[in-house]
Every structure is written in structure tokens, then in C-alpha cells.
């Protein structure tokens, strides 16, 4: 009788290796709940999965940008509101002085509203000036009406650049959301400068306990100019609100796309856990059986027969 165990050993070892591979695969599926840990494990479906994942990554990138833009627009809304409130307060202060016929506190009151206006124009978001137009310096470089009055012109106190922030919030939409301090505040600074210079001019000022007819006429005109500026700021606030709504709608759309793509990827990559558990049990049985075959071959080896 011819005794040969080499082929039997090779076959048994191969069966054991295959059973162990199936066991490992089933274990991975149960632990990760995925069919495979890399695209190669999905065969022909890998290209479709890769396409879904690429689209999902791109969509989530747009979502990140849209959130950044939304946060910035929220800060701009606060800044523009602050600026508008300061203009309203300035007008109200002048109207109160006119109603009382006294200008004794008008400059103090206007300095307070001026400081508030600067807070709006020099507003910061994430450590950067919102309306700086790409520059790092403070957009308006004066802090008092006296400094403004001494400046060569209202325009000269603005140090902002000219770059208006733009962002691509989806594949087809790029929005210009940035605003410039000089666009928002040049006319306003001009009014404050006129009032300061009028008050400092000995032929027309200062505003005292009793307002003169000339002073009343001047302040009435300036209150109307403040009203005009307020309407312009209100328009900028409305524009900012429109941009906020558009970004909000885009975010909602992108979130829907992201959820759909995530579901598509899940459908393609998720393991059938019930099947994986069955495969694991079958693989474990196969491993045990293969191990028993190897043990039997070892017992019945040629060396043992010759003993």
C-alpha cells in the first residue's frame, strides 16, 4: 500500500487557511458593520462607492464654508444694527436739544453715539475686522470727534482695503458677502466732522445753554442728514438679511444632499449582520473541522506507522 501524506497535508492546510480567512472576514463585518474595510473589498461596486464618497466629501466641504459665511453674516448683522442704533441715537439727541432750545449737552451726547458708531464700523469677528477690506488695521483710525474734526477729510480716517469677502457656498453659487467700513460710514463721519468743526469755529459755536437761530438751523439740517444715513444703513442691513436667508436655504439643501449621500454609501457598504453572524458560525465549524483533519493526519503520519 502506497502511503503519501504531502497532498493531504497541503489540502488540509489550505482548507484551514480559507476557513480562518472567512472567520476573520465575518468577525470584521460584525465589529465594523461594514462589508469591507477598504474599497478593494467591494469589487465592481468600489467605483460607485468612491463616487458617492467623493460627492459626500465635496458637499460637506460646502457645508463648512456655508456655516463660516453664516457666522460672519451674523456678526455683520450685529455690527450694522449697532451702527444704525448709533445714528438713531444721534438724531434723537439733536432733536432733544432742538426741542429744549439748549445745546449744553449735545456734544457730549454726540460723542457717545460717535463711539457707538465706531464700535459698529470697527466690529471684529474671530479676531479680524469685519469691514477692513482685507487689511489688518482698524478700519476707522480715530476715536473721538475732536480727532475727526482735525482730520483732513472724513474720507482720510478710513484705512480699510478694497477687498470684499466672497465665498463659494455650493457648486454653482458664489456670494459676495463682505462690506467696507468706508462704504458704510463715510457719509456718517462727514456729518460728525461737520458738527465738530461747526462747534469749534468761534464764529458759529460752541453750542451753549441757549441755541442761536443759526445753530438751530444747522442742527435741523444735520438731523435730516442723519435720517438719510440711517435709511442707507437700513438698506445694508436688509441686504445682509437677504444674504443670511440665502445661505440658510443653501445649508438646508446641502444637509439634505449630505444625508442622501450618506444613506447611499451606507446602503452600499453596510454588512448584513445576520448573514455575517451565520458566516462566522460556519467558519468556526470549518476551522475546527480542518484542525481535526490536521490532527488526524499527524496521528496517521508515516513516521507513526513505522514505529
pLDDT 10s digit of each residue in the chain, 307 long? 344 556 665 666 666 566 565 555 555 555 555 656 565 565 666 788 788 889 999 999 999 999 999 999 999 999 999 999 999 999 999 999 999 999 999 999 999 999 999 999 999 999 999 999 999 999 999 999 999 999 999 999 999 999 999 999 999 999 999 999 999 999 999 999 999 999 999 999 999 999 999 999 999 999 999 999 999 999 999 999 999 999 999 999 999 999 999 888 877 765 545 655 565 556 666 656 666 665 666 666 545 544 5
What is the b/e burial string over 191-214, where b = at least 16 CB atoms within 10 angstroms of the residue's CB? bbbbbbebbeeeeebebeeebeee
**What local confidence, expressed as pLDDT, does residue 1 receive?**
39
pLDDT at 2: 45
Q: What cell does 128 get?
A: 479680524
- Tell me, what's the pLDDT at 299? 65
Q: What is the pLDDT of residue 278?
A: 62
Which residues are 158's β-sheet partners?
140
Q: What is the pLDDT of residue 268?
A: 75
At 158, list the grid cell.
Answer: 478710513
Which pLDDT belongs to residue 52? 86
Q: Is 201 helix (H, G, I), strand (E, B) or coil?
A: coil
Cell numbers placing 277: 453572524
**End-to-end C-alpha distance for the chain, whole angstroms:** 17
Task: Quote the longest CA-to-CA distance of the chain.
Answer: 135
b/e code 70-89 from CB counts within 10 Å (16+ = b): bebbeebeebbebbbbbbeb
Structure confidence at residue 49 (pLDDT): 79
Query: Is residue 12 within 8 Å of 293, Cβ to Cβ?
Result: yes
SS3 114: helix
Amino acid at each position: 500500500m502506497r502511503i503519501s501524506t504531502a497532498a493531504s497535508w497541503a489540502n488540509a492546510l489550505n482548507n484551514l487557511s480559507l476557513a480562518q480567512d472567512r472567520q476573520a472576514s465575518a468577525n470584521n463585518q460584525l465589529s465594523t458593520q461594514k462589508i469591507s474595510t477598504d474599497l478593494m473589498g467591494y469589487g465592481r461596486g468600489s467605483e460607485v462607492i468612491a463616487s458617492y464618497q467623493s460627492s459626500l466629501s465635496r458637499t460637506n466641504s460646502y457645508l463648512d464654508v456655508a456655516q463660516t459665511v453664516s457666522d460672519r453674516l451674523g456678526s455683520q448683522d450685529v455690527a450694522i444694527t449697532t451702527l444704525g442704533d448709533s445714528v438713531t441715537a444721534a438724531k434723537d439727541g439733536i432733536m432733544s436739544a432742538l426741542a429744549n432750545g439748549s445745546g449744553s449737552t449735545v456734544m457730549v451726547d454726540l460723542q457717545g453715539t460717535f463711539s457707538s458708531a465706531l464700535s459698529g464700523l470697527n466690529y471684529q469677528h474671530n479676531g479680524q475686522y469685519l469691514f477692513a477690506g482685507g487689511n489688518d488695521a482698524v478700519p476707522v483710525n480715530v476715536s473721538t470727534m475732536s480727532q475727526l474734526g482735525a482730520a483732513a477729510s472724513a474720507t482720510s480716517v478710513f484705512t480699510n482695503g478694497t477687498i470684499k469677502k466672497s465665498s463659494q457656498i455650493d457648486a454653482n453659487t458664489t456670494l459676495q458677502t463682505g462690506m467696507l467700513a468706508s462704504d458704510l460710514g463715510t457719509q456718517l463721519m462727514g456729518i460728525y466732522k461737520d458738527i465738530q468743526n461747526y462747534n469749534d469755529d468761534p464764529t458759529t459755536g460752541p453750542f451753549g445753554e441757549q441755541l442761536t437761530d443759526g445753530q438751530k438751523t444747522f442742527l435741523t439740517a444735520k438731523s435730516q442728514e442723519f435720517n438719510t444715513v440711517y435709511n442707507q444703513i437700513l438698506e445694508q442691513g436688509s441686504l445682509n438679511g437677504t444674504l443670511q436667508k440665502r445661505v440658510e436655504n443653501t445649508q438646508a439643501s446641502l444637509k439634505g444632499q449630505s444625508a442622501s449621500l450618506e444613506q447611499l454609501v451606507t446602503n452600499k457598504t453596510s454588512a448584513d449582520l445576520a448573514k455575517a453572524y451565520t458566516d462566522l458560525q460556519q467558519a468556526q465549524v470549518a476551522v475546527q473541522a480542518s484542525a481535526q483533519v490536521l490532527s488526524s493526519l499527524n496521528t496517521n503520519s508515516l513516521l507513526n506507522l513505522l514505529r
